[in-house]
């Protein structure tokens, strides 16, 4: 980025300069000003059930460890040995009930990051280290500045100051309420495995696609049509196709004008909600059995309230895309200006029948998995977008669709139609505020 580049000129209310996606210097600024400041989803508390259980995760540029400490709390630590800087955990997950031991010179740490032991400590005799002049950072693993847990979903922020997690999420916290409320026991458990997909594009292209209600009928048309044809075959035999076909056929049987009937609700900090479009309350025996468990747990009235929540997608900008009715989420971890890792997780509703879990698993495999055509269709677009933006064929990205027509009421912008590009404009409004440029 040229030293003179003025970020205010890159982001305008209805268009964005391509360098916001392709300039490595802007990417570095994003890490510093956005990802090292906001609340980042690190994982679900059920990933670390026992003392010493840990998972490693990236927050912006920082390799971190989420670990269960002996007092039951979940800690988030920098994955760095204070001796010579080696990462403490080179693997993705593991268990260290007695604390961490560095594989380089065997310094040992408790699961809250404090120093436990240094072998052959006599070597430090008379040095700055022994006399106490060494600061805590030379003895202990550094923790994240703040850690917060909302209904089992653990977030961390590297910034000491800023809004609390709940303030920052605002109305987007409905993502986690909707997931958990659908469980008869009011909480979920992670399925301890995730798909990890590296897409060849800037991270923002992924987020813009999440609430892009115009693209499914185009990009996923062939996938949806194939599933629809199978549904028709079932119908001809007077049978009902399994719901999993509906997950795919909805892409093509929902024509563009129908997408316009839905709404996006766009809030502060770039968060957005897409209202629901798929009928997920059929009257098959599995669904009825599930409803009975909810009725037993909450009573009829509350059950109806829970099942009436009509959200398809919640985007917690800049790092999370949640699909609450199907208990799944995708966490966005930017790697470089043109490479982005997404981690795709799903959850079990505690107390719900196994068949309801199988349904979520079906959606996970059929729509969000890297092996499905749906994901492949999107990945192909993401790569093509990035290639086009990196070219000299034009300078601007257009977000003009329904610009100036959406309904603004305080911190909420409601899209005038479902395919308005309001969510993308909302994301860039937050981007500008974080980057200090607009
Ligand atoms: S780098 Fe960890 S003990 Fe030396
Ligand atoms: Fe898509």
Cα distance between residue 435 and residue 10, in whole Å: 11
Q: What number of residues does the chain have?
A: 438
14, 99, 104, 146, 306 from 136: Cα distances, Å: 48, 18, 20, 18, 48
Instruction: Give the side-chain half-sphere CA count within 13 A for 400.
Output: 3
Atom number in ligand 1 closest to CA 86? 1
Q: Are strands 153-157 and 146-150 parallel, antiparallel or unpaired?
A: antiparallel
Q: By alpha-carbon position, which residue is closest to atom 3 of ligand 1? A: 105
Mutate to test the pocket of ligand 1, among 78, 104, 108, 113 (most ligand atoms within 8 A of CB): 104
Give residue 279's pLDDT.
58
88, 138, 256, 349, 350 from 185: Cα distances, Å: 36, 44, 38, 8, 5
Query: Which one, of 139, 43, 15, lies nearest residue 396 by Cα?
Result: 15
The order of strands in the sheet holding 100-101 is: 100-101, 108-109, 115-117
Q: Provide the whole-model pTM.
A: 0.94
Give residue 20's pLDDT.
97
> 344 Cβ partners below 8 Å, 6+ apart?
194, 195, 196, 197, 328, 329, 330, 364, 368, 369
Q: Where are the alpha helices (DSSP H) in 89-140?
A: 136-139
| Residues of the chain with confidence (pLDDT) below 70 | 1-5, 131-134, 277-280, 437-438
pLDDT tens digit sequence for 259-313: 888 889 999 999 999 987 555 677 888 899 999 999 999 999 999 999 999 898 9
CA of 261 to the centre of ligand 2 (A): 18
Give residue 278's pLDDT.
57
Give residue 5's pLDDT.
65
CA of 246 to the centre of ligand 2 (A): 16
Contact assessment for residue 296 and residue 311, using Cβ atoms and an 8 Å cutoff: no
Mutate to test the pocket of ligand 1, among 78, 83, 100 (most ligand atoms within 8 A of CB): 83
Cα distance between residue 240 and residue 234, in whole Å: 6
Cα distance between residue 431 and residue 57, in whole Å: 23
Cα distance between residue 3 and residue 25, in whole Å: 10
Q: By alpha-carbon position, which residue is closest to atom 1 of ligand 1? A: 84
Render the burial of 398-433: b for 16+ CB within 10 Å, e for the rest: ebebbeeebeeeeeebebbbbbbbbbbbbbbbbbbb
Give residue 261's pLDDT.
83
In this structure, which ligand is nearest to the CA of 104? 1
C-beta atoms surrounding 316 within 10 Å: 30
In this structure, which ligand is nearest to the CA of 101? 1
Atom number in ligand 1 closest to CA 84? 1
Atom number in ligand 1 closest to CA 105? 3
Domains, in order of start, for the chain: 40-150 (2.102.10.10), 171-213+260-435 (3.90.380.10)
Residue ranges lining ligand 1, Cβ < 6 Å: 81, 83-84, 86, 102, 104-107
């Amino acid at each position: 980025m040229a030293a003179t580049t003025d970020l205010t000129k890159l982001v305008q209310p209805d268009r964005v300069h391509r360098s916001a996606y392709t300039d490595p210097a802007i990417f570095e600024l994003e890490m510093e000003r956005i990802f090292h400041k906001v609340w980042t989803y690190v994982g679900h508390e059920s990933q670390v059930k026992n003392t010493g259980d840990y998972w490693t995760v990236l927050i912006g540029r920082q390799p971190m460890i989420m670990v269960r400490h002996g007092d039951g709390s979940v800690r988030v630590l920098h994955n760095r040995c204070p001796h010579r800087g080696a990462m403490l955990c080179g693997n993705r997950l593991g268990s260290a009930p007695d604390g961490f031991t560095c594989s380089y010179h065997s310094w040992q740490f408790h699961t809250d990051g404090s120093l436990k032991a240094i072998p052959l400590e006599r070597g430090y005799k008379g040095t700055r280290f022994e006399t106490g002049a060494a600061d805590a950072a030379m003895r202990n693993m550094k923790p994240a500045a703040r850690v917060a847990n909302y209904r089992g979903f653990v977030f961390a922020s590297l910034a000491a100051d800023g809004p609390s997690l709940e303030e920052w999420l605002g109305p987007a916290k409905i993502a986690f309420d909707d997931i958990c409320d659908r469980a008869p026991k009011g909480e979920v458990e992670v399925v301890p495995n995730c798909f990890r997909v590296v897409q060849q594009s800037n991270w923002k292209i992924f987020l813009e696609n999440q609430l892009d209600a115009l693209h499914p009928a185009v990009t996923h048309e062939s996938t949806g049509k194939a599933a629809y044809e199978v549904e028709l075959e079932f119908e001809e035999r007077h049978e009902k196709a399994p719901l999993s076909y509906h997950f795919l056929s909805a892409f093509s049987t929902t024509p563009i004008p129908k997408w316009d009937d839905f709404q996006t609700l766009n809030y502060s900090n770039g968060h957005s909600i897409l209202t629901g479009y798929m009928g997920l309350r059929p009257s098959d025996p599995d669904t009825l059995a599930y409803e009975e468990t909810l009725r037993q747990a909450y009573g009829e009235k509350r059950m109806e309230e829970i099942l009436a929540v009509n959200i398809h997608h919640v985007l917690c900008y800049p790092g999370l895309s949640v699909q609450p009715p199907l208990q799944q989420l995708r966490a966005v971890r930017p790697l470089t200006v043109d490479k982005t890792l997404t981690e795709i997780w799903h959850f079990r509703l505690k107390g719900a029948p196994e068949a309801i879990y199988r349904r979520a698993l079906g959606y996970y495999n059929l729509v969000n998995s890297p092996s499905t055509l749906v994901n492949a269709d999107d990945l192909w677009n993401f790569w093509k977008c990035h290639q086009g933006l990196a070219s000299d064929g034009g300078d601007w990205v257009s977000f003009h669709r329904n610009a100036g027509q959406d309904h603004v009421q305080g911190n909420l912008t409601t899209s005038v139609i479902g395919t308005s590009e309001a969510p993308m404009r909302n994301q860039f409004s937050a981007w500008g505020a974080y980057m200090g440029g607009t």
